[in-house]
Amino acid sequence: MPEPKKDDFQRPDEWVDQDPYNVRGKPTHKAAEELLAEDVELQAPETREEGTFTSEQTRLLEEEGYQIYTLTGESIATLKAKGFKFWSTWHEQNPQFETLQSRVGQVAIKTDPDEFFIPDSNNKTLDKQLEMVEEQNKALSQRISGVKAILGEAADYIELAFQNNELFGEKYDYNYTRTQTPTVESDVANVGNFHPDNGLSVSSWARGDGYGNVWASPLVVPTSGTK
């Protein structure tokens, strides 16, 4: 397999290749399911309860090509404790960032590589990417009531990447999605560049700068549904 792409926008003194965690002897998806099901007791912030889609919302979303996932409040810390791997390392010096949790509830994404990222959303500032997500949200809300397209937090995409380890991988050209999660100073986190053997990369990048492999991948969440 190819080596992970170097994180050109990640400070050189903040990353090294690493392989400290390993899940061997089982198919990747099976191993991921079992590890995500384990209970790991770590001190972490309060989770964000987000609810679920109604059956009608689910039907309409699936007709439009969305797949629905249930996020469970995972963080980098809990995933590391279960053996999942990250080849980025800067966040090891930021334990508060590593304990940020994903939302708890359902989200919908388009897993088709041609639709996972908003077209032409790379090389854009965070503000411009948020505008593009809002444009998609307005169009979606006219077709399906009670849902909203958002740019998620880093932990949301991190858990998604380990639920479906094709995301951010070869089929997706090892690209990243920008997130709204602050990292250092005014920077925000990007999530992507997933390799089965080396794991996931989480990088820090200036919100006012664009980059060729940093896109916007919206999450659809319920605003009215079952709780």
The whole-number pLDDT of residue 40 equals: 43
The whole-number pLDDT of residue 49 equals: 54
Q: Which domain holds residue 17?
A: 12-222
Cα atoms found within 13 Å of the Cα of residue 151, Cβ hemisphere only: 26
Say which residues have a Cβ less than 8 Å from residue 48's Cβ, sequence separation at least 6: 73, 101, 103, 104, 105
| Distance of alpha carbon 76 from alpha carbon 99, whole angstroms | 6
| Residue 188 placed within a domain | yes
| Residue 138 placed within a domain | yes
Check if the beta carbon of residue 178 is closer than 8 Å to that of residue 125: no
| Residue 182 placed within a domain | yes
Say which residues have a Cβ less than 8 Å from residue 56's Cβ, sequence separation at least 6: none
CA max distance for the chain: 49
Can you say whether residue 153 is alpha, beta or left, with left for phi > 0 and alpha for psi between -120 and 50 degrees?
Answer: beta
| Residue 227 placed within a domain | no
| Residue 6 placed within a domain | no
Q: How many domains would you assign to the chain? A: 1
| Residue 7 placed within a domain | no
| Residue 157 placed within a domain | yes
| Residue 197 placed within a domain | yes
Q: pTM of the entire structure?
A: 0.80
The whole-number pLDDT of residue 33 equals: 52
Each residue's pLDDT, cut to its tens digit, for the chain (227 residues) gives 444 444 444 433 333 333 333 333 444 444 555 555 554 444 444 445 568 999 999 999 999 999 999 999 999 999 999 999 999 999 999 999 999 999 999 999 999 999 999 999 999 999 999 999 999 999 999 999 999 999 999 999 999 999 999 999 999 999 999 999 999 999 999 999 999 999 999 999 999 999 999 999 999 999 965 44
Q: Give the DSSP per-residue string, 74-115.
A: --HHHHHHTT--BS--GGGG-HHHHTPPPEEEEEEE--STTT
94 DSSP β-pair partners: none
